[in-house]
Copies of this chain bind each other. A is one copy, B any other.
Amino acid sequence: MKSVGFVGVGVMGAGMVKNLLQAGFHVSVYNRTREKAEGVLALGARWCESPGDCAEGKDAVVTIVGYPADVEGIYFGPGGILDRAKKGAALIDMTTTSPAQAQRIHRAAAERGMDFLDAPVSGGQGGAAAGTLAIMVGGDKAAFDRCMPIFSAMGKNIVYEGPPGAGQHTKAANQIALSGALCGAAEAISYAIRAGLDPERMLATIMTGAAGSWQLSNQGPRMISGDDSPVFYTKHFIKDLKIAMDEGTALGADLSMTSMVLGRMERLAQEGKGDLGTQAIIHTYL
């Protein structure tokens, strides 16, 4: 495992490629907008003209793009990754996408003698830059073990979750749990404001106890100060929650709270606020 093709050098990918280069991998990159790749090209990454070019002949191919439709295109499109990667290659999709899609790509890869792992991440741009991402991996255990040097270069909390799709299912569970803490923070803060409390004082009081959460501590102060700048985009959260709802519905899971949060996020997007951070959910409460 020396040569890596990397598709998707955006906010996340740039840091991840930098860390792969520092770990000694030969990295070839493709991105829809070439300018975004200039930083890693200056660090020694090689430019490719298409996802297929990026995959050809490489020991491993890592992808992290926007939406399930983008994943579909780069893997299944004509001259795409599945057409061009070599037999024995390890394909790793780190996009947050659907478990069903991950399972389909896994089957297609297996038919071609390739490994496929679904390996979505959490930890954001900061974690990508610092190489401290949490990586949730589904697929064959042997492939997971084989790819560990690649994962180790990019993350810290790297967990084999189970068969194909298990990484995506874990990420969906992550977004579901996060939704609860997020709307809990928003309901508590909007209640506190209406009750005439000093919301900052309220927050400082409750965030260290049984009501505490990452969302309350980190997004709560932004909700109070009216800082809508994105740590995580509302439009991307909508994508993630739609995946969770689709899968959950198919599985017969009760996702009452998640569904309610998705509805609020979609309302924000309809108002042209999809580029705000997820803490903007507070606007649906005030």
Interface residues of A (CB under 8 A from B): 99, 122-124, 134, 136, 157, 159, 161-163, 165-166, 169-170, 172-185, 187-192, 194-198, 201-202, 204-206, 208-216, 218, 232, 244, 247-248, 251-258, 260-261, 284-285
- Could you list 14 A-B pairs, sorted by A, with CB under 8 Å? A134-B206, A159-B201, A161-B198, A173-B206, A174-B205, A176-B184, A177-B213, A180-B183, A180-B188, A183-B257, A187-B255, A191-B251, A213-B213, A254-B285
Contact between chains at B169 and A179 (CB < 8 Å): no
Query: Which of A181, A182, A194, A232 has the most CB atoms of chain B within a 10 A radius of its CB?
Result: A181
Query: Which of A254, A255, A284 has the most CB atoms of chain B within a 10 A radius of its CB?
Result: A254
Contact between chains at A192 and B173 (CB < 8 Å): yes
Q: Looking at the assembled complex, report how far the CB atom of A155 sits from the nearest CB atom of chain B, in whole angstroms.
A: 11
Q: Looking at the assembled complex, report how far the CB atom of A131 sits from the nearest CB atom of chain B, in whole angstroms.
A: 15
Q: Which 5 A-B pairs have the closest CB atoms?
A: A180-B184, A213-B213, A177-B188, A178-B211, A177-B211
Q: How far, in whole Å, are A251 and B187 apart by their CA atoms in the complex? A: 13
Q: Looking at the assembled complex, report how far the CB atom of A215 sits from the nearest CB atom of chain B, in whole angstroms.
A: 7
Q: Given A134-B209, A159-B205, A177-B211: A191 and B172 within 8 A (CB)?
A: yes
Q: Which residue of B lies closest to A195 (CB)?
A: B169
Q: How far, in whole Å, are A254 and B5 apart by their CA atoms in the complex? A: 48
Contact between chains at A209 and B214 (CB < 8 Å): yes
Contact between chains at B169 and A211 (CB < 8 Å): no
Q: Residues of B contacting A197 with CB < 8 Å?
A: 161-162, 166, 169-170, 173
Q: Looking at the assembled complex, report how far the CB atom of A103 sits from the nearest CB atom of chain B, in whole angstroms.
A: 12
Q: Which residue of B lies closest to A261 (CB)?
A: B257
Contact between chains at B173 and A177 (CB < 8 Å): no
Q: Residues of B contacting A251 with CB < 8 Å?
A: 191, 194-195
| Extra A-B contacts (6), CB below 8 Å, given A122-B211, A173-B192 | A123-B210, A136-B205, A159-B204, A173-B197, A210-B232, A257-B261
Q: Given A173-B197, A211-B177, A214-B209: A257 and B202 within 8 A (CB)?
A: no
Q: Residues of B contacting A196 with CB < 8 Å?
A: 162-163, 166, 169
